[in-house]
Structure 1
């Protein structure tokens, strides 16, 4: 009797922990990934970065593999948990077509088809309590398929959104210098106002999705123009120049500029909370020399450096983001 209770308790504990992980990962927007999924993701990313080296074709497989691996892990844990429960007693299930003794693989079979709701009838629960547990096992299977399907759709949609955001930045300019030049209308940088408004809203949505679905962090791409770990530092350098490196008379709308910069900081805070750590050193400041020689109204270098004091932590986050995604500072196309 004691062994029966222990087996049932252990099995149900595994099932409950798995359900909590599924619900936490798929439904809790503010909670990020569940404990099991979070550790699986971090461990897989660590292994993939070690074995891939500089081969980004291998590293970009991490996201899809993690999505498949997460779903497979949930199935295995649920299946194993219910296997332990129904293995607790020889009377847990009965063979309706053959009175022979029930073996462990029969229990595994019964647990599996109950979980996947196939509706086979050659085995049946051996009493009222086992009938109740069978119904619960079937319910967890339905829960997994429902949440699993919605999770796949959400992840794929969020990956498209983050890559679309990066492409929107790259289309304006592949470096902070190009973005600054594209925003110049001959007298000031007001042409960038509408862009700041749209990109700010899109970045906020991406940040929320990153917090809701941390698996997004591990969807790597070898295309620099679609990589947020490179395009975000690039646009942030452009924002820093516009905010602190341009003469006051030529600056864009201050409210929109502040909103976008705050959006970038919020995004970096989400990443630091769920994915990366700050680098020891800050990202290098953009070089204003070429812009100055081209006649753009930029301030002196010492003034720019003074204005950027107090933003070291932000730039440590930016560099940490670059390094965590297995890129280097030199991969950022800027005017440095």
Structure 2
């Protein structure tokens, strides 16, 4: 008896910790069980489907549903073990016959999902207390589960809205740099940096708070942060290290936004992806140079970008983890 009760309560407690960890702990990422489920499911789907974007678009909703179902099954199974520990734990109020294991499954689920007891009731104060606790865990699951769904959907919308804001400025780093040029310098991008830096910081926090957000894949490149963020970062690298001093945009805004991008990549590396073995190739300045923009030489640009290797490894790791390739970055059109 004690063994089954202990195992059942351990399963219930582990599930509750996973639920609270995943839904409420902003700094903690996903709970251990949820984290393993997401990573294994994403790995299997990418291996089986390859580059099938239509299937990968289902990954996010599938993982959200799977997570909720996993919590239900674990809670239900845990309480089933608890109430199976003794044949006297539950009694039939309408018929004094022996309780079968099917009746225990029914009672455990009924207690978990409703506030009533139906045809069965606990036979003593000890089992009455456990029944009340079981009902409480059900209420906890529904409350946290509903709020988590709303939070995830809202975060997905914010994430794709941010990506669209970038792609509307330019679908390549060259286009973004060109849009920043006002005839004398690149200060046209100052307002963009001011408006988007706070938005990116919020997206980064939501990625850490809601790890399932990582797995919401889209086939629309213009709404994919794993492509638009590297594209924008290439443009910012050109503006920070590839242009002449007199033509650079506001250095404070540029530094702030580049730091926001780095913080975002650090969050992703901590909760979702690993940096690539090699760095993302440097953006090509040839096309911009032909348009007459005041740029430094390729040698100077390459030298100044040497200390950005780790950052560009993170960028490429982000691209690859989301099942894209480096070539896709310059193909947003």
User: What's the RMSD between the two structures over aligned residues?
Assistant: 1.0
For residues 78-130 of structure 1, what are the alpha-carbon distances to aligned partners after superposition, in whole Å with 9 as ceiling and x for unaligned? 00000000000011000000111000000000000000015242100010000
Matched-pair contact (CA < 8 Å) for 2:115–2:135: no
Q: Number of aligned pairs?
A: 332
- For the pair 1:282 / 2:279, whether they are aligned, the reply is yes
The residue number in structure 2 matching 1:146 is 143
Q: 2:110 aligns with which of 104, 113, 120?
A: 113
Which residue of 283, 290, 315 corresponds with 1:293?
Answer: 290
Residues 146-171 of structure 1: CA deviation (Å, up to 9, x unaligned): 00000000000000000000000000
Match for residue 95 of structure 2 among 89, 94, 98: 98
Partner in structure 2 of residue 23 of structure 1: 20
Q: Tell me if 1:227 matches 2:224.
A: yes
Q: Does structure 1 retain, via aligned residues, the 8 Å contact 2:170–2:176?
A: yes
Residues in 2 aligned to 1:128 and 1:91: alpha-carbon distance in whole angstroms: 12
Within 5 Å, give how 1:51-90 maps onto structure 2.
Answer: 51-90=48-87
> After the TM superposition, which residues 85-234 of structure 1 pair with which residues of structure 2 at under 5 Å, given as runs?
85-234=82-231
What is aligned with 1:240?
Answer: 237
The equivalent residue for 1:259 is 256
Q: In the alignment, is the contact (CA less than 8 A) between 1:211 and 1:270 conserved in 2?
A: yes
Q: What is the CA–CA distance in structure 2 between the aligned matches of 1:284 and 1:19, rounded to whole Å?
A: 45
TM-score normalised by length of structure 1: 0.98
| Deviation at residue 194 of structure 1 after TM alignment | 1.0
Structure 1's unaligned 5+ residue stretches are: none
Q: Which runs of 4+ in 1 moved over 3 A?
A: none
